[in-house]
């Protein structure tokens, strides 16, 4: 299994990790990735990852970056997002970005002429997206994760100090159907398997579900980055660091058996800074809900990206 993880070290857009061999490949930063208008955050802090059949998308603040099937940079979409955009997912012909500072999902069509839309999560109302400059002071519940699954759209709210919650919306109408209250603390990630919803309760250090399932995590650290197969949970851990230091430090990725709850593999990634998000590239990811981006074997897939591992000489 191959994962793509976005990292915070400002030298890379992300890393590819082969969960069978432990082999690692870099996707170096390019000057085109930087959002230099951001003042209180690093200009490169990539977060959400998603794709359609042809292209892969990564969010870096207001920039929605487009990569080809070999993970080579193609372009930046013309619609500006927001500072501190979090997870991405593809659904209904659009890339949807969770925007904590606007308390909304921003939906951008990647081809065609449809205008961008915005789902206001506080009032649960779809409207045209009008770009404006939101700030951290506008962040009400810190919505951070989303998942299209069957007839539902799920959106997770970290919610700062109070307990976290999850919105369940009808995927067709985008009307609110149910709110899962008391979902843990500082939650991240959502996965759906046969009618069961799962997520990470980061500050309590466990994986939870809406059926009362709970698996304690064996590693201390900030658990953010969640993928799920029929057999395994894949969880990323970063060091607990102050915001201004999150571009430093190491991270770890664990492969956890879903039946036993035991971590069967752990990979230490040195110098990545905090991991922001991860996706499985080459197999079904129940935390993403769309077909894999690559059908190639791990060895073939790593060869595909061998030509994008040289750093941009224009960067310091």
* pLDDT (tens digit per residue) in 299-316: 666 666 665 555 555 554
- Which domain, by its residues, includes 261? 2-308
248: confidence class by pLDDT, cuts 50, 70, 90: confident
Query: Would you state the torsion angle of the CA atoms of residues 178, 183, 186, 189, taken in this order, to the nearest 10 degrees?
Result: -70
pLDDT in tens, 156-204: 999 998 899 999 999 999 999 999 999 999 999 999 999 999 999 999 9
CB 215, CB 235: distance < 8 Å: no
pLDDT at res. 40: 83
Please tell me the total count of domains within the chain.
Answer: 1
**316 assigned to some structural domain:** no
**315 assigned to some structural domain:** no
Distance linking the first and last C-alpha atoms of the chain: 33
By CB atoms closer than 10 A (0-12, 13-18, 19+), residue 212 is exposed
Query: Would you state the torsion angle of the CA atoms of residues 235, 177, 87, 121, taken in this order, to the nearest 10 degrees?
Result: -140
CB 95, CB 107: distance < 8 Å: yes
Query: Residue 231: which CATH number?
Result: 2.120.10.30
**314 assigned to some structural domain:** no
pLDDT at res. 247: 85
**Where are the strands (E) in 100-195, listed by range?**
104-109, 117-120, 125-128, 143-149, 152-157, 165-170, 176-180, 187-193
> Phi then psi for 215, rounded to 5 degrees?
-125, 115
């Amino acid at each position: 299994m191959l994962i793509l993880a976005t990292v915070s070290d400002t030298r890379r857009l992300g890393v590819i990790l082969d969960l069978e061999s432990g082999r690692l490949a870099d996707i170096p930063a390019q000057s085109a990735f930087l959002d230099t208008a951001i003042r209180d955050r690093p200009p490169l802090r990539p977060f959400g990852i998603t794709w359609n059949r042809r292209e892969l998308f990564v969010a870096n603040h207001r920039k929605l970056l487009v990569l080809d099937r070999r993970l080579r940079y193609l372009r930046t979409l013309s619609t500006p997002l927001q500072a501190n955009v979090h997870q991405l997912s593809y659904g209904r012909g659009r890339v949807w970005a969770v925007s904590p500072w606007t308390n909304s999902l921003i939906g951008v069509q990647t081809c065609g002429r449809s205008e961008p839309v915005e789902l206001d999560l506080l009032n649960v109302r779809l409207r045209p997206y009008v770009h404006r400059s939101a700030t951290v002071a506008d962040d009400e519940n810190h919505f951070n994760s989303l998942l299209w699954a069957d007839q539902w759209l799920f959106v997770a709210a970290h919610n700062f100090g109070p307990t976290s919650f999850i919105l369940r919306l009808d995927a067709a109408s985008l009307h609110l159907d149910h709110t899962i209250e008391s979902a843990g603390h500082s939650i991240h990630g959502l996965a759906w398997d046969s009618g069961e919803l799962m997520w990470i309760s980061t500050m309590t250090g466990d994986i939870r579900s809406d059926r009362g399932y709970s698996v304690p995590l064996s590693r201390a650290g900030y658990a953010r980055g969640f993928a799920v197969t029929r057999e395994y949970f894949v969880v990323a851990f970063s060091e607990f660091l102050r915001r201004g230091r999150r571009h430093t430090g190491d991270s770890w990725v664990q492969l956890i058996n879903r039946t036993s709850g035991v971590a069967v593999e752990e990979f230490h990634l040195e110098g990545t800074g905090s991991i922001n998000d991860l996706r499985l590239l080459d197999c079904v990811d129940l935390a993403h809900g769309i077909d894999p981006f690559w059908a190639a074997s791990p060895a073939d897939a790593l060869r595909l990206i061998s030509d994008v591992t040289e750093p941009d000489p224009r960067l310091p």
